[in-house]
Chains A and B, each alone.
Chain A
Amino acid sequence: MGKSDQVMDICLLAGEIMLTYGAETYRVEETLERMAKAASMKNVHCFATSTGIFLSFEEEGKDDQMQMVRVDDRLQDLNKVTEVNQVSREFVNRELDAEQAHEKLKAIADSPVPYPLWLIHLSAGVAGSGFALLFGGDWPDLFPAFLAAILTSVTVVEFERYLKVRFAAEFAAAFLGGSMAIVLVFFGIGDNVNQIIIGSLMPLVPGVPLTNAVRDLMSGDLVAGVSRGAEALLTALSIASGVAFAISLFL
Chain B
Amino acid sequence: MFFIELIICFIATVGFGVIFSVPKRALLLGGGIGVIAYSILNAGLYFDASPVFSTAAASLTAALISHMLARFVRIPVTTLAIPGILPLVPGSRAYFTMLSFVDGEYLTGLEYGVETMLRAGAIAAGLVFALAVFSFGKGVGHRYETNR
Contact = CB atoms under 8 A, between A and B. Distances in A.
Interface of A: 22-24, 27, 76-83, 85-86, 89, 113-115, 119-120, 123-127, 129-131, 133-136, 153, 194-195, 197-198, 201-203, 205, 207-208, 210-212, 214-215, 218-220, 236, 240, 243-244, 247-248
27 contacts: A27-B76, A78-B82, A79-B21, A82-B75, A82-B79, A85-B75, A114-B21, A114-B23, A123-B15, A123-B16, A123-B19, A124-B19, A126-B12, A126-B15, A130-B15, A135-B91, A135-B92, A153-B19, A194-B99, A195-B92, A205-B89, A207-B86, A211-B81, A214-B127, A218-B127, A218-B128, A220-B140
A248 to B, nearest CB: 6
Which of B22, B91, B99 has most A Cβ within 10 Å? B91
Interface in B57-104: 74-76, 78-79, 81-83, 85-87, 89, 91-92, 94-96, 98-99, 101-102
Given A205-B89, A215-B127, A247-B99, A113 B15 contact: no
A123 B74 contact: no
B18 A123 contact: yes
A204 to B, nearest CB: 10
Given A198-B91, A218-B132, A130 B12 contact: yes
Contact of B14 (A123, A131, A248): A123
B57 to A, nearest CB: 17
A244 B101 contact: yes
Contact of A79 (B13, B22, B82, B124): B22
A248 B100 CA distance: 11
B12 A127 contact: yes
Nearest to A81: B76
Contacts, number: 146
Contacts of B5: 133-134
Q: How many residues of B sit at the interface, in one of the four size bands?
A: 35 or more
A226 B56 CA distance: 22
Given A211-B127, A215-B127, A218-B128, A205 B91 contact: yes
Q: What is the predominant secondary structure among interface residues of chain B facing chain A?
A: helix
B16 to A, nearest CB: 5
Contacts of B86: 205, 207
B11 interface: yes
B24 interface: yes
Given A214-B127, A240-B94, A130 B11 contact: yes
Q: Which of B11, B38, B76, B131 gathers most chain A CB within 10 Å?
A: B76
